[in-house]
Structure 1
Amino acid sequence: MAAVARDAGHEVRLIDLQAETHRDLHRMIRSWQPDAVCFSGNYLANIPEIIDLAKAIKAALPQCFVLVGGHSASFVAADLLRHADGAVNCVLRGEGEASIAALLETVARGGDLLRVPGVVTRDGEGPPPCFAQSLDTLRPARDLLRHRRKYFIGVLDPCASIEFARGCPWDCAFCSAWTFYGRSYRARNPEQVVAELATIREPGVFIVDDVAFVHAEHGMQIGEAIERRGIRKRYYLETRGDVLLRNKDVFRFWRRLGLEYMFIGMEAIDAEGLKAFRKRITLDKNFEALEFARSLGITVAINLIADPDWDRERFETIRRWCLEIPEIVNISVNTPYPGTEIWLREQRRLTSLDYRLYDIQHAVLPTRLPLDEFYTELVRTQQVLNRKHLGWTALRGATGQACKLLLRGQTNFVRMLWKFDSVFDPRLQLGDHARMVRYAMSPPPAVTDERVDVKSIYVYGPTGRRGRRIDDATERFVDGTRMGAE
C-alpha cells in the first residue's frame, strides 16, 4: 500500500504499531500533519484500537482523511464505520493496492468516493473491490520501516517476509483466506520474486503464502532462480500435509536452499475433528507428512484447535500426545471469525461480541467446563508444550543459536523465551471477559437451515477455475482434497 501510494506521487510515511507506540504515532501526526491516514486492520482484535486512534486523529486534525483497510476490516466494514461515528471516512475492502491511488486522487479533488472500487462509507458502498492488476508490479516499501531488526520468527532473527503467491484454493471452515479471495490463487513471476529476494538484507525470510508450493512447478522455478543467483537465506513457510507429500521433490530442493522451519495446520488429531474443520486429509496422511518433514531435518510446528467443548480428559489426551512427538505444537481456540463459514453455520450461541476476545486465545463459544477451568486447562497444556520446547533441556540445544544472535545484537528470540508466563495466564484471560465493551460486533445471521449461502461473506466473488493459476493436475488435486468434494 505504501509503495503504491508513493509511486502515485504521494509523500508517504509508515509506522508499525507492533514495533512502535501510540505516542510515536501521535508525535508523527502532530509534527507532519498528513492529509490522509490509513490503518491496516488485518487482525480483528485490533479493531477497537484502530477506532480509538482514528477518533484521536480526527480530534487533532479534523480535515485529515482517515481510512481503514485490510483483511479483517473488509469483513466488518459496516460495523467499523458505525463504531467510529464519523472518525473513519471510509473502509477500503479487498486488496488496497488495487484502489489506493484512485481513492487518494478522488479525495484530493473532492470527487465521489462511491465511484472507487471497494470503498464503503456511511452513505453506501462503491463498486465491488477489484484485484491488483499484477502481483509482479507490487514491491513492499521496506525502506520506510524504521525498526526492521525487531522482526523475527523463532530463531530467524531478524527476519523479513516475502510473498510468492496470493490466495488459497481450499475451503476450510475455520479460515477466511478463501472467502476473502474467492478461492482464487495467483502466483508471481519467479524472476520477479527472486529479484525482490535479492534486495532483502535480513538473513531470515518468512514466505507468507497461505499454503506454500501448492503448484510444484512454480516452487521449483523460484528455487532454480534462487540457486542461479546464489542467494543464501534461511526460510520459514506454512503449508498443508497433503501438499508436502504430493510435492516432495520441491521441499527436498528447498531444504538444500535453506528451508529450516515449516508450519503445518493439522488442526485435529482425530477424524471427527478434521471433518468438523473441513480438512479433507486423513490422520495417516498428516502423520506421514510429519515423518517426511523429519526425514529432511526440517523443524516443524503444528497447530491444533481446542474446541470450547473440550473437557479435562480431552486436554490430558492432547498433552500426552504432544509430548510423544518431537514437533513444536501450538494450541489455538476454535473461534468463529466474521468471514469464516463457521461464523455462519455455528449452532452454538456466541458468548461475546467483543473484538478483543477474537484472538484465538479466548473462548467466545460456551465452554463445557466452567470458563475459569477451561482457561486453566488450556494454559496448563500450553505450559507443558512451552517447557518441552523452551525449558532448560531444550534451551541447552538452542544456546549456540542464542549466543550467535546476541553477538549480532539480536535480542528478540532470547527475550521471547522469558515472556510466556506474562502472556499466558488463566487469570488474565478470564479477566479479559470482564472488561467494558465499548464496541461490539453485529452477531451473525440466525441459522435457519443447513443451506447457508457462504457467498454472502465473500469479499471477492468466486471466479471458478479461471481464478486459479495452477495446472490441471494441481486443480484436480485441490478439488479432491476439499471437504466440499465427495
Structure 2
Amino acid sequence: MRVLLVNPSGLMYSRIFLRLEPLGLELVAEAVRRAGHDVVLLDLQTHEHGDYFRLLESWKPEAVGFSLNYLANVPEVIDLAKATRLRLPGCLVFVGGHSASFTVREILEHAGGAIDCVVRGEGEDTAPRLLEAAAEDRAGLHALAGVSTRAGDGPAPALRAGLDDLSPARELLARRRRYFIGVLDPCASVEFTRGCPWDCAFCSGWTFYGRSYRKVSPERAAEDLASVREPGVFIVDDVAFVDADHGYAIGELVERRGIRKQYYLETRADVLLRNQEIFRYWKRLGLRYMFVGLEAIDDADLRAFRKRTTLAKSLEALQVARSIGLTVAVNVIADPSWDEQRFAAVREWATSVPEIVHLTVATPYPGTETWHTEARGLTTRDYRLFDVQHAVLPTRMPLARFYEELVRTQQVLNRKHLGWAALRATLGIAARHLAHGQTNFVRMLWKFDRVYDPALLLRDHGRACPYAMGLPPHAPTSKIAPEQLYVHRPAAPDGRTPDHGRPHAP
C-alpha cells in the first residue's frame, strides 16, 4: 500500500526558537515500512500545503496519516483531511498523535466522515495493524485496540513491551538541514526514554503514557546516535537522566564509539540536583544546552502546579547548571490572573539571572487535570489559540493590556539573548553556521518583534472559529481520578492491560 505520513505546520514559538524533526512520525514510518508498505513522509514545517496537494496528485497514496501532537493544529489537519477526501475518495485517512488521543470524538465529528479513524496512543504497533485490517474491512476498524471510528472505540492501546526494536526512518525526511534548536543548527532528535513518572497538574505527558517510564537500552541509544549525521542533537526525553546509571551507560558507549555531538536536553530542577554528576559527565561529552521547566518563581504557584519541588531547590539547580558551564533556558507560566505588579516582578527576576527566561501562558489542555478542574471557564474554544502563547482563560486585566504586559516581559529574553546581543556573544558560532550554509540560527535572532506582537495576539481572538472545541462532560471539579485521564492503561498484576472502558474525550 502507498502510505503518505504528514506532519502539520509549526506553531508560533517554532517560528523563532526551534524547528524539530518529527521523530515520532519517523518511528511510525519505519514501522509501516517494515510491514511492507511504500512510505513517503512530508513535514509541513518545511514544506507548503501546495507541496502536499501536488504529492496527492502525482503519487496518489492509498492511505494518508496525519500526526496531531499539538491541539493548535487540529483545524489544519481537519481541513487537509477534507481536501484529501475530495481529491482521493477511496483513500484511507487516519489521524494519530498526542492531542488526537485526547480529542477523538471531536476530531471525528468535525471531519464529518473525511477521517476514517483516529489512532490512540503509541502508533508504531497500531498503524501497521490498522493498514492490514483496512485492506480487508474498513467497517470493522473500531474493533482494533487503540483505534476509534465514528462507530466506536477499540480497547485501550497497550504499551510496547520494549523500545529497542524501534528506529526512525530519518532518510525519508527531506530538507533535514532546516531542523534546529537555538544555536544547534542543524539538529536531529533522539529518544533515550519515554514517559514521565511525575504528575504535574498542567501536563498531559504522564496521562498519555499512564505514568509509565521506559528506557531504550544503552546499546540501542548509542547506535541511534552514531547514525545521526547532524552535529546537534536534541534529546527529546520529558525528563532527561532520571536514572543516572542509564545515562552513564549510554555515555560510556558514546565515548567508546567516538561519537562527537553537541546536545540539548530537558530536565527537572530536582533531577539536576539529585544527579549532578551525570550532567557534568555529559558536559564532557558535548552537552551544551539545557531546558529546565521552572514554571514559577514562588512556592505557592509551584504547589498549585504540583511540581513537588520548592523555589529554593529550583534556584539551587540553576546555580549547579551554571557551575557545570551549561547554557540554561527556563520557562515560567504566566497565569491570566496576573496584574501589572506581578509581571513587573517577573521581569525584574528575569533581568537579574543569566538564564534564558521564557514565558508561556497557563492553558488547560484535554488530557490534563486542569482541563477538568479549572473553574474559571474558557473565553475561547478555538483550537488555534491553545498554543500556550494566547490566553484562553479570563484575564484579570483587559485582554489587550494582558498581552502588552506579557510581550513586554518576554522582551527581556529578546534584549538579553537575541538580536545584536546574541550575535556579539555567538559571533564565531554564527560565522561557522553561515559558512556551512546554515541560516536558521542567524535568522531567528531578529524575528522576535515580528512574531511576538500584542496587536497580533489580540487580533487572533477576532478570527472566525472554524471548529469549536468541546468541553468536559461535567462541571469543574476539585479532583479527578488519574486513571480516567490515561490513554495507555497501567498493566494489571497479571501483566495484562485492563480495558476499563475508555471514556470519550470531551
Deviations 1:378-432 (A, max 9, x none): 0111112211111423321111111110001000001111211111011111111
The aligned runs of 1:45-56 (5 Å cut-off) are 45-56=72-83
Conserved? CA contact 2:157–2:489, under 8 Å: no
AA of the residue aligned to 2:355: E
User: Which one of 143, 152, 155 corresponds to residue 115 of structure 1?
Assistant: 143
Deviations 1:345-403 (A, max 9, x none): 11111111110000000001000000000001101111122111114233211111111
AA of the residue aligned to 1:420: F
Conserved? CA contact 1:344–1:445, under 8 Å: no
AA of the residue aligned to 2:81: A
Deviations 1:132-191 (A, max 9, x none): 332101100000001100000001000000000000000001100000000000001100
| Partner secondary structure for residue 457 of structure 2 | helix
AA of the residue aligned to 2:222: V
Deviations 1:300-338 (A, max 9, x none): 000000000000010011001000000001100000000
Give the aligned partner of residue 210 of structure 1.
238
Using the alignment, how far apart are the partners of 2:197 and 2:355 within structure 1?
A: 27
Q: Is 2:323 the partner of 1:295?
A: yes
Change (3 A) 1:449 1:416: closer
Using the alignment, how far apart are the partners of 1:84 and 1:457 within structure 2?
A: 24
Q: Is 2:192 the partner of 1:164?
A: yes
The aligned runs of 1:218-257 (5 Å cut-off) are 218-257=246-285
Using the alignment, how far apart are the partners of 1:452 and 1:115 within structure 2?
A: 28
Q: Is 2:179 the partner of 1:151?
A: yes
Q: Is 2:152 the partner of 1:124?
A: yes
AA of the residue aligned to 2:313: K
Give the aligned partner of residue 321 of structure 1.
349
Conserved? CA contact 2:333–2:359, under 8 Å: yes
Using the alignment, how far apart are the partners of 1:213 and 1:199 within structure 2?
A: 21
User: Which one of 381, 384, 387 corresponds to residue 409 of structure 2?
Assistant: 381
The sequence identity of aligned pairs, in percent, is 61
| Partner secondary structure for residue 118 of structure 2 | strand
| Partner secondary structure for residue 301 of structure 1 | strand
Give the aligned partner of residue 364 of structure 2.
336
User: Which one of 414, 423, 439 corresponds to residue 395 of structure 1?
Assistant: 423
Give the aligned partner of residue 74 of structure 1.
101
Higher alpha-carbon deviation: 378-387 or 77-86: 378-387
User: Which one of 12, 29, 47 corresponds to residue 20 of structure 1?
Assistant: 47
Q: Is 2:63 the partner of 1:64?
A: no
Give the aligned partner of residue 447 of structure 2.
419
| Partner secondary structure for residue 227 of structure 2 | coil
Using the alignment, how far apart are the partners of 2:435 and 2:72 within structure 1?
A: 36
Using the alignment, how far apart are the partners of 1:410 and 1:213 within structure 2?
A: 30
| Partner secondary structure for residue 124 of structure 2 | helix
AA of the residue aligned to 1:150: R
Q: Is 2:389 the partner of 1:364?
A: no
Using the alignment, how far apart are the partners of 1:461 and 1:181 within structure 2?
A: 8
Change (3 A) 1:397 1:449: closer
| Partner secondary structure for residue 13 of structure 1 | strand
Give the aligned partner of residue 435 of structure 2.
407
Gaps of 5+ in 1: 468-486
| Partner secondary structure for residue 264 of structure 2 | strand
| Partner secondary structure for residue 282 of structure 2 | helix
Output the aligned Cα RMSD.
1.3
AA of the residue aligned to 2:90: Q
Q: Is 2:33 the partner of 1:6?
A: yes
* Structure 1 position 32, deviation (Å): 0.3
AA of the residue aligned to 2:37: H
Deviations 1:46-95 (A, max 9, x none): 00000000000000000000000000000001000000000000000000
Using the alignment, how far apart are the partners of 1:120 and 1:465 within structure 2?
A: 27
* Structure 1 position 216, deviation (Å): 0.9
Using the alignment, how far apart are the partners of 1:344 and 1:118 within structure 2?
A: 23
Q: Is 2:126 the partner of 1:104?
A: no
Higher alpha-carbon deviation: 300-309 or 431-440: 431-440
| Partner secondary structure for residue 228 of structure 2 | coil
AA of the residue aligned to 1:252: R
| Partner secondary structure for residue 47 of structure 1 | helix
Give the aligned partner of residue 36 of structure 1.
63
Higher alpha-carbon deviation: 439-448 or 264-273: 439-448
Using the alignment, how far apart are the partners of 2:212 and 2:249 within structure 1?
A: 21
User: Which one of 82, 85, 101 corresponds to residue 112 of structure 2?
Assistant: 85
* Structure 1 position 438, deviation (Å): 1.5
* Structure 1 position 447, deviation (Å): 3.4
Gaps of 5+ in 2: 1-27, 496-506
Give the aligned partner of residue 140 of structure 1.
168
What TM-score does the superposition give when structure 1 sets the normalisation length?
A: 0.94
Give the aligned partner of residue 303 of structure 2.
275
Conserved? CA contact 1:348–1:366, under 8 Å: yes
Using the alignment, how far apart are the partners of 1:142 and 1:18 within structure 2?
A: 15
| Partner secondary structure for residue 64 of structure 2 | strand
Conserved? CA contact 2:118–2:147, under 8 Å: yes
User: Which one of 269, 291, 299 corresponds to residue 263 of structure 1?
Assistant: 291
Deviations 1:85-143 (A, max 9, x none): 00000000000002111100001112521231110000101111122332101100000
Conserved? CA contact 2:422–2:445, under 8 Å: no
| Partner secondary structure for residue 15 of structure 1 | strand
AA of the residue aligned to 2:31: V
Conserved? CA contact 1:322–1:329, under 8 Å: yes
Using the alignment, how far apart are the partners of 2:463 and 2:494 within structure 1?
A: 47
Conserved? CA contact 2:418–2:446, under 8 Å: no
Higher alpha-carbon deviation: 273-282 or 394-403: 394-403
| Partner secondary structure for residue 12 of structure 1 | strand
Using the alignment, how far apart are the partners of 2:134 and 2:407 within structure 1?
A: 48
